[in-house]
A and B are shown apart, each in its own frame.
Chain A
């Protein structure tokens, strides 16, 4: 834990976004994570992304479970509501919140332990429901908070700090998500904000469940020589499969792109992402292609990163469940409550 809070001084040339807020207005409280933890860089990327998108802080809700990663929600956007739920339960809590108030932007932060062990069932069903949220997994291959036990994302052969190797096969959240119908799947690295920030922005703009798996090294328990989620290992094995560029307003890119390889995906809110895959046979708007590509990378010992798959035409939870088009808080009680007549009718139906 740092000894002081971050001084409230700003760089004189710090710019403001369309809401008149500076980057620093999107910060949270001082992190209590270990110095050098990848999670703090993800925090910084989230601050950057939210500032660039000019998200209204009080219209966003930060959701998390338990773990070092789940503490991230306290470290950005201090003017937003935050909910640090029970271990692995963030997907369900967010599903509930999103059901009640569809007007807010939901930013969920979890860890590989939180999401792939105790919370895997919850995660899977939030993906199936296509809850409209950004879901970031800060993936370090260990349970950082409980002192570095292997998590379900640990690669076979990866060693713990003490030297013992993991022998159980890993769950890759990207492949998991692709296989159960996720509509936005990306992977990035905490040490590469150039790649991460546009992905986060696109994930927030996406209507539906946006899963972003971020390799986020644990400096304390998983940044040693035998680790496959260290800064060095990730840098040496990362291959950017798709480069994503986020374009705030669609009109700016209405010009036809001269480059055939670039795919422009129009997002629901009028923005767009331009996707440039690095392999010619890879189509990031095709689920089968994406899955095959990620798997092939894995077989070569590479970590495929980038915005790997996006399907902007799918229906989200509210469309699937045909819920009202407004947050419940905006619907008058008279309309929300069917009243005594409806009750009578219901009881008669059971006679």
Chain B
């Protein structure tokens, strides 16, 4: 991102942060020594319950928990393999894990106004500028909804949001429209159903860029 300098060289105000002292981290499926003892054999990449997530162990915990993390082809026991079926089984598990992850990751943040027929899709540091642009467009009686994607893989709401509007703009700060490409690739939404608004001049995105791009595009349609 070209905004590094802007972020790095200036002081930024944030809201006061809070910390919930009752919070305890959930490490997920981690087998302790006792659980390992009960197993005949620990298989690092074996999906027992179908959610695609295999239990892991922490180094040094139990003799049975050891496994080898490797880049070369391996089977569900983390053992080297050249067997296609064993390898395919693992890659299919990763797909299940990925799909399952989409249901657990943070949901997108979005507005739903009854009379909006334009959707603005954005993410990350573009958000503030896009929301400001939405207010300015409302001044011009263009009612838009804004969705900030907060995670990948995309949650179902991402698709629902995009499919709900006649006009959808994807606002991102790069030359190639990477987020739009991902939306097409992952959700199968036709490229042309989403109009890119790309800003890559090295400065933080401003609401003006968004407002001009949206009004310009809409007037083209009406013209």
Expressed in whole angstroms, the Cα–Cα distance for A61 and B67 within the complex equals 10
Are A59 and B70 in contact, CB atoms less than 8 angstroms apart?
A: no
List chain A residues, Cβ under 8 A from B24: 333
Interface check B216, CB cutoff 8 A: no
Partner of A32, one of B59, B67, B71, B80: B80
Shortest Cβ distance from B65 into A: residue? A58
List chain B residues, Cβ under 8 A from A73: 68
A228-260 to B contact mask, C-beta < 8 Å, 1/0? 000000000000000000000000000000000
Expressed in whole angstroms, the Cα–Cα distance for A74 and B66 within the complex equals 12
Query: Binding site of B, secondary structure by majority: helix, strand, loop or mixed?
Result: loop
Partner of A81, one of B16, B20, B25, B59: B59
List chain A residues, Cβ under 8 A from B19: 339-340, 343
Expressed in whole angstroms, the Cα–Cα distance for A79 and B63 within the complex equals 6
Interface check B69, CB cutoff 8 A: yes
Partner of B63, one of A32, A57, A66, A339: A57
Interface check B62, CB cutoff 8 A: yes
Tell me the residues in window 307-345 of chain A with beta carbons closer than 8 Å to chain B beta carbons: 327, 329, 333, 339-340, 343
B47-83 to A contact mask, C-beta < 8 Å, 1/0? 0000000000011111101111111100000011000
Interface check A97, CB cutoff 8 A: yes
Are B67 and A81 in contact, CB atoms less than 8 angstroms apart?
A: yes
CB distance from A21 to the nearest CB of B (A): 11
Partner of B70, one of A74, A79, A80, A103: A74
Q: How many residues of B contact A (CB 8 A)?
A: 24
- Say which size band chain A's interface belongs to: 20 to 34
- Top 10 nearest A-B pairs (CB, nearest first) are A82-B68, A81-B59, A340-B19, A84-B70, A58-B63, A83-B69, A343-B19, A81-B66, A104-B60, A79-B66
**Which residues of A pack against B, CB within 8 Å?**
29, 32, 57-59, 61-62, 66, 73-74, 78-84, 97, 101, 103-104, 327, 329, 333, 339-340, 343, 347
**Which residues of B pack against A, CB within 8 Å?**
16-21, 24-25, 58-63, 65-72, 79-80
Inter-chain pairs besides A81-B59, A81-B60, A347-B17, 13 sampled, C-beta below 8 Å: A57-B66, A66-B71, A78-B66, A78-B68, A82-B66, A82-B68, A84-B68, A84-B70, A84-B72, A101-B60, A104-B60, A329-B60, A347-B16
19 contacts between A and B (CB under 8 A): A29-B79, A58-B62, A58-B63, A78-B66, A81-B65, A81-B67, A81-B68, A82-B66, A97-B59, A101-B60, A104-B59, A327-B60, A339-B19, A340-B18, A340-B21, A343-B17, A343-B19, A347-B16, A347-B17
